[in-house]
Amino acid sequence: MKHYLVLFILFCLYSICSLGQNWEGNLQDLHNEFRMLRARDNMYEKIEGTPYLNNDFLNGSLITSDSLIIKDVQLRYNIYLDQMEALLSGSADPRVVTSPRSFLYFQFNNRTFIYTSFLENNNPKQGYFELANRGKHQVLIRRNITYREAEEARGFSDPKPPRFIKRPDIYYIRYDRGLPEEIRLNRRNVLSAFDSNRDEIEDFVKNNNLSYRNGDDLVRIVEYHNQLLEKSNN
């Protein structure tokens, strides 16, 4: 089993197991990518801020599409590039996960990430989301970091270095494993999303002093909505 897991990880992370490919060329490609990642990290050191959710690799697990659990994989999420980087045990060379759809979950630092399709400005895309809760309806969080070039001094303003800027998280609702839909955090949108239990949710928010504009409170609202659904189905 351990041998199978190692081969599976290599296939999904390194993509060097396809028949008919040149092994020597693939190994050279890997070497080039290792050097690219190191060069990227060196470049990031010259930029203010960070593109990563976590700068260091953190111990985690991968759950494959056929529910195999692969433990002790070091993971790091590059929000700016929307890439998951992995470092296998005993290796000093990180690798970008090139086949993220092969995994159901990426788990590290008490967080769970998924890679899924979604719509952004009505355009189909794929990317990473943090899964905030389990159940029939789920809250997904899309992290957002932008890059701004260096700025020269202007008037009374000092020069500014190149920098990564963390933007507000974007929240999505995934209804019963469907395509995630963006939801703006306000009373009207949240209640409209769960109109069938509108009165119960309004009471729940009021009794627990929650805010429709708070992401953590949105998770509690969705979890409560899931509980109501379970009761109605029993």
Of the two residues 180 and 119, the one the predictor is more confident about is 180
What's the average model confidence in pLDDT over 81-101?
83
- Is the pLDDT at 224 greater than 90? The verdict is yes
Return the pLDDT at 84. Answer: 95
- Is the pLDDT at 16 greater than 80? The verdict is no
Q: What is the mean pLDDT of the chain?
A: 84
Q: How confident is the model at residue 76 (pLDDT cuts 50, 70, 90)?
A: very high
Q: Which residue has the tokens 């979890």?
A: 223
Of the two residues 83 and 93, the one the predictor is more confident about is 83
- Is the pLDDT at 15 greater than 80? The verdict is no
Q: Which two tokens stand for residue 15?
A: 């993509």
Q: How confident is the model at residue 159 (pLDDT cuts 50, 70, 90)?
A: confident
| Integer Rg of the chain from CA | 21
Return the pLDDT at 35. Answer: 60
Q: How many CA atoms lie within 13 A of 68 on its CB side?
A: 13
Of the two residues 10 and 68, the one the predictor is more confident about is 68
Poorest-pLDDT segment among 22-31, 151-160, 205-214:
22-31
- Is the pLDDT at 79 greater than 70? The verdict is yes
Q: Which two tokens stand for residue 177?
A: 């494993």
- Is the pLDDT at 11 greater than 50? The verdict is no
Integer Cα distance of 102 and 89 in angstroms: 20
- Is the pLDDT at 155 greater than 80? The verdict is no
Tell me the pLDDT tens digit for each residue of 173-195: 999 888 999 999 999 999 999 88
Answering whether pTM is above 0.85, one says no
Return the pLDDT at 6. Answer: 47
- Is the pLDDT at 1 greater than 60? The verdict is no
Return the pLDDT at 163. Answer: 93
Return the pLDDT at 94. Answer: 78
Return the pLDDT at 46. Answer: 86
- 3-state SS class at 164: strand
Angle at 203 (CA atoms; ends 219, 168), nearest 5 degrees = 30
Residue 1 CA to chain centroid, in angstroms?
Answer: 28
User: Is the distance from CB of 109 to CB of 130 less than 8 angstroms?
Assistant: no
What's the average model confidence in pLDDT over 136-156?
91
- Is the pLDDT at 119 greater than 50? The verdict is yes
